[in-house]
Chain A
Amino acid sequence: MNENTQAAIELRSVGKTFRVSGGILGKDRRVVAVDGVSFAVPPGGVLGVVGESGCGKSTLARLILGLLTPDSGDIAVEGQRIVDMDRKARARLIQPVFQDPFSSLNPLSRIRDIVAMPLQAQGSFSRAEIAKRVDEMLSRVGLPGEMGNRLPAELSGGQRQRVAIARALVLRPRIVVCDEPTSALDVSVQAQILNLLAELRRDLGLTYLFISHNLAVVEHVASEVAVMYLGRIVEKKPTQALFHQPEHPYTKALLASVLTPEPGLGVPDVGLGDVMPDPANIPPGCRFHPRCPIAEPRCSTETPPLRPRPGGGVECLLVP
Chain B
Amino acid sequence: MSTLLDVERLEVGFAGTSAVRGASLTVERGETHCLVGESGCGKSVTALAIMNLLARGGRRTAQRLAFQGEDLLKLDDRGMARLRGNAMAMIFQEPMTSLNPAYTIGSQMTEVMRRHKKVSQRVATDRAADLLGRVGITAPGLRLGQFPHQLSGGLRQRVMIAMALMCEPQLLIADEPTTALDVTVQAQILRLLAQLQRDLGLGLLLITHDLGIVARIAHRVSVMYAGEVVESAATAQLFADPKHPYTQGLLRCVPVPGKQRQDEPLGSIPGTVPRIGPGFEGCGFRDRCSFAEASCAHTVPHQTAAPGHDYLCRLAP
CA gap between A279 and B260 in the complex, in Å: 35
User: Which of these binds chain A: B5-13, B48-56, B75-83, B245-253?
Assistant: B245-253
Q: Is the CB of B253 within 8 A of A190?
A: yes
Name the residue of chain A whose CB is nearest to the CB of B211.
A261
Q: Is the CB of B253 within 8 A of A187?
A: yes
Q: Is the CB of B249 within 8 A of A267?
A: no
- Judged by a CB distance under 8 angstroms, whether B111 is at the interface is no
- Closest beta carbon of chain B to A234's beta carbon, Å: 14
Q: For residue B209, which residues in chain A have a CB less than 8 angstroms away from its CB? A: 186-187
- Judged by a CB distance under 8 angstroms, whether A84 is at the interface is no
Q: For residue B240, which residues in chain A have a CB less than 8 angstroms away from its CB? A: 263
- Closest beta carbon of chain B to A258's beta carbon, Å: 6
- Judged by a CB distance under 8 angstroms, whether A131 is at the interface is no
Name the residue of chain A whose CB is nearest to the CB of B265.
A195
Q: For residue A198, which residues in chain B have a CB less than 8 angstroms away from its CB? A: 265
Q: For residue A195, which residues in chain B have a CB less than 8 angstroms away from its CB? A: 265-266, 268
Tell me the chain A residues, 259-278 only, with Cβ under 8 Å from chain B: 259-270, 272, 274, 276
Q: Is the CB of A258 within 8 A of B182?
A: no
Q: For residue A262, which residues in chain B have a CB less than 8 angstroms away from its CB? A: 215-216, 239, 256
CA gap between A265 and B213 in the complex, in Å: 11
| Chain A proximity mask over B249-273: 1 for CB below 8 Å, otherwise 0 | 1111111111010100111111010
Known: A187-B250, A243-B258. A158 touches B272 (CB 8 A): yes
Q: Is the CB of B194 within 8 A of A267?
A: yes
Q: Is the CB of A189 within 8 A of B256?
A: no
| Chain B proximity mask over A237-260: 1 for CB below 8 Å, otherwise 0 | 001000110000000011111111
CA gap between A157 and B209 in the complex, in Å: 15
Known: A186-B209, A189-B272. A261 touches B236 (CB 8 A): no
Known: A187-B211, A260-B215, A276-B154. A254 touches B268 (CB 8 A): no
Q: Is the CB of A272 within 8 A of B235?
A: no
CA gap between A268 and B235 in the complex, in Å: 18
User: Which of these binds chain A: B91-99, B185-193, B294-302?
Assistant: B185-193
Tell me the chain A residues, 147-204 only, with Cβ under 8 Å from chain B: 156-159, 186-192, 194-195, 198-199
Q: Is the CB of A270 within 8 A of B184?
A: yes
- Judged by a CB distance under 8 angstroms, whether A92 is at the interface is no
Q: For residue B267, which residues in chain A have a CB less than 8 angstroms away from its CB? A: 191
Number of A-B contacts (CB under 8 A): 139
Known: A254-B183, A257-B186. A265 touches B265 (CB 8 A): no
- Closest beta carbon of chain A to B133's beta carbon, Å: 12
CA gap between A195 and B270 in the complex, in Å: 12
Q: Is the CB of A191 within 8 A of B183?
A: no
- Closest beta carbon of chain B to A47's beta carbon, Å: 14
- Closest beta carbon of chain B to A108's beta carbon, Å: 23
Q: Is the CB of A259 within 8 A of B216?
A: yes
- Judged by a CB distance under 8 angstroms, whether B290 is at the interface is no
Q: Is the CB of A274 within 8 A of B211?
A: no
- Judged by a CB distance under 8 angstroms, whether B38 is at the interface is yes
Q: Is the CB of A219 within 8 A of B191?
A: no
CA gap between A276 and B188 in the complex, in Å: 12
- Judged by a CB distance under 8 angstroms, whether A213 is at the interface is yes
- Judged by a CB distance under 8 angstroms, whether A31 is at the interface is no
B-side interface residues toward A, CB under 8 Å? 38-39, 136-138, 152-155, 182-188, 190-191, 194, 209-217, 235-236, 239-240, 249-258, 260, 262, 265-270, 272
Q: Could you list 20 A-B pairs, sorted by A, with CB under 8 Å?
A: A52-B183, A157-B39, A186-B209, A188-B268, A189-B268, A191-B253, A192-B270, A194-B255, A194-B266, A199-B265, A216-B255, A220-B260, A239-B262, A259-B187, A261-B214, A262-B215, A262-B216, A267-B191, A267-B194, A268-B191
The 7 closest A-B pairs by CB, nearest first: A259-B212, A191-B268, A188-B269, A186-B38, A191-B266, A191-B253, A257-B187
